[in-house]
A and B are shown apart, each in its own frame.
Chain A
Amino acid sequence: MSTDDTPIPVVAIRGVARHYVRAADDVQALRPISLDILPGRFVAFMGPSGSGKSTLLNIISGIDRPDEGALLVAGEMLNDLDEDELAEWRARHVGLVFQFFNLIPVLSARDNVALPLLLTKLDRAERTRRAETALRVVGLDHRLDHYPGTLSGGEQQRVAIARAIVTDPDLIVADEPTGDLDARNAEDILSLLRQLKNDFGKTIVMVTHDPRALRFVDDVYHLDKGILLEGEDAERAGAAIRMAAGGHVGGGGHP
């Protein structure tokens, strides 16, 4: 129990950096970054292409590892885990949503959603029941037996979101979840994510280019060339995005 009122962050990053060696160049994808994300927050990372957003997100979700820095996510020091322990940890604590949905084409919507539950000790009936519940939450209980190929992009992303929440994870991580969707579907997905935060208190970390996202999220972080912008730089970046979106998207007014 902490003595003050500050809740324990779901994500605590201290001096995390990552570089890639490609052929002769050394790409500094992420310069040392420190950051806390508190439970129940809906957080967006924005920034130009190649600014290191996906790199940071992959490190937070334990798909990738930092070269330096310490990383505490959902109560676990990820630096200490080996490859297989990390996989097990992901299965229990993180729900993943991808830009291109990444559903398994040979499995029905129900089986896709039930997939992460195969890594739990739940029996088949319980797995099916939970998968169907998750699909009901995303409004797809009439598409249980459909295969990904027969679903629209928006529907596929809903199935993917159901798959991300079915294990009741501490953290939902989404990399450009609206990147491959049209305007209407993009709004629907953003509002669905917002609803997960509002109704179930989920912590959501999202990378996006989409200025519409500003209306749905609590916090926005701006990245540029692997650096987390702060103060005036961050203000300027935020203003630029609001401008691009037509100036009428303010902060505040969450649906």
Chain B
Amino acid sequence: MLPLSYSLRNVAARPARSLMTAGVVALVVVASSLFLGLISSVKRTLIDSGDPMNLVVMRKGSDNDGSSQLSLEAYQAIRYFDGIARDEDDQPMVSPQLVVQPFFRTREGGRENVLVRGVDEMAFAVHPAVRIAEGRMLQPSSGEAVVGRGVLGRYAGAALGSELEFGRGRWQVVGILEADGASFESEVWVDVRELANDAKRPFPYSGIRLRAASPADLVALRKRINDDPRYALEAELETEYYAKQSESANTLYILVVGIAVLSGIGAGFGAANTMYAAVQARTAEIGTLRSLGFSRASILSAFQIEAMALSAIGFAIGAASAIALSALLRVLMGGVAFAASTFTTNVVTLRVTPSDLIGAFVLAMVIGLAGGFGPAWRAARMRPIEALRKG
């Protein structure tokens, strides 16, 4: 077999051509790892929002907060179910919530649906990941709101001390909410009773989030709520609820994979073109190596490795650029807006993770493998006598 250094030095021997080919691969790597990063960021944001000890309770048949409704009576009944965790004051950790999705005016003048969640003071006990990072918690019945980190600055009035306008009222922003990147950071929280009045809803709540005392209680509670004939409610694990929300990202995933494959094919032709030129230019050299006794297999692998080296360089350049670009986007834009299946806007922090890069790496290697095979095969099949005559 020919040494690895033979293939690598040939890549280095024509730097302009090699860099151009690697550059095309790099573009594919940048695009695919950024898109894969965006999808995984969206999924992570949603999946991280679910707490394994929580249940989401909605009207039977609703698949999201926004389309459900639930009566005061139902809430009161569920509060006294067994197996619900209790706070310091021995109150059951049951958080009634009302979700509306009004349009907000963006800074750029556009309109986007934003999830506004009406809550009471129990919400923070049920969602321990959520905390007030700046300012303070809202006071009930005083027209106050706290806004998520992702919402901040994105919409007119979404700043500490400013006023938000939606529904019939004006809401004073008194605090900023953080939740370790979960989708709560894309929401506005206000007092649940005030929101119900403002929205003139026939039912005061859209759903309930509750926290079980133990994993066994979680299962038992879910069964009890689902089997209760009185209110026609459905309880679901909060983790599953958000996992389902994140499935909308899967369609996007297929689209991105399609685009990646198409652009990969383009880059593969680029790599093939470069390698055909290399084989052409080194025909006499191939004849020499074959005459010296190197097998067809060793010629094949030397050229195949050369193509793989080109795409590996492309991957390295592309991966570094994708990481740098995603960091730049975080600094410049804060987050990337993404419309979830509920049509509310989720603002996600774009991060390119190792698993996104593995996807892009596999793509780059396939480009090198597929693009290099034709030329390497041609090189391996040359008859030494004819190849030598091309000197």
Contact = CB atoms under 8 A, between A and B. Distances in A.
A63 B385 contact: yes
A79 to B, nearest CB: 16
Interface stretch (A9-17, A95-103, A200-208): A95-103
B384 interface: yes
Interface string B1-41: 11101100110110000000000000000000000000000
Contacts of A107: 5-6, 9
B294 A87 contact: yes
A33 interface: no
B310 to A, nearest CB: 15
Which of A64, A105, A115 has the most chain B CB atoms inside 10 A of its CB? Answer: A115
The list of the 3 closest CB pairs from A to B, nearest first, reads A91-B293, A106-B9, A102-B288
Given A64-B385, A102-B284, A119-B294, 16 more contacts: A63-B385, A83-B296, A90-B291, A90-B292, A90-B293, A98-B388, A100-B391, A102-B391, A104-B285, A104-B288, A106-B6, A106-B12, A115-B292, A119-B292, A119-B293, A163-B292
19 contacts: A63-B384, A87-B290, A88-B293, A88-B295, A90-B293, A91-B292, A98-B288, A98-B391, A102-B284, A102-B287, A102-B288, A104-B285, A104-B288, A105-B13, A106-B13, A107-B9, A115-B292, A119-B292, A119-B293
B385 A118 contact: no
B13 A96 contact: no
Contacts of A88: 293, 295
Interface of A: 58, 61, 63-64, 83-84, 87-92, 96, 98-100, 102, 104-107, 111, 115-116, 118-119, 163
Nearest to B384: A63
Given A102-B285, A102-B391, A118-B1, A58 B293 contact: no
Interface of B: 1-3, 5-6, 9-10, 12-13, 284-285, 287-296, 384-385, 388, 391
A92 B388 contact: no
Contact of B293 (A106, A111, A116): A116
Given A91-B292, A100-B391, A58 B385 contact: yes
A87 B293 contact: yes
A83 B5 CA distance: 26
Nearest to A160: B288
Nearest to A163: B292
A98 B390 CA distance: 13
B292 A96 contact: yes
Contacts of B285: 102, 104-105
B385 A87 contact: no
Which of B291, B296, B384 has the most chain A CB atoms inside 10 A of its CB? Answer: B291
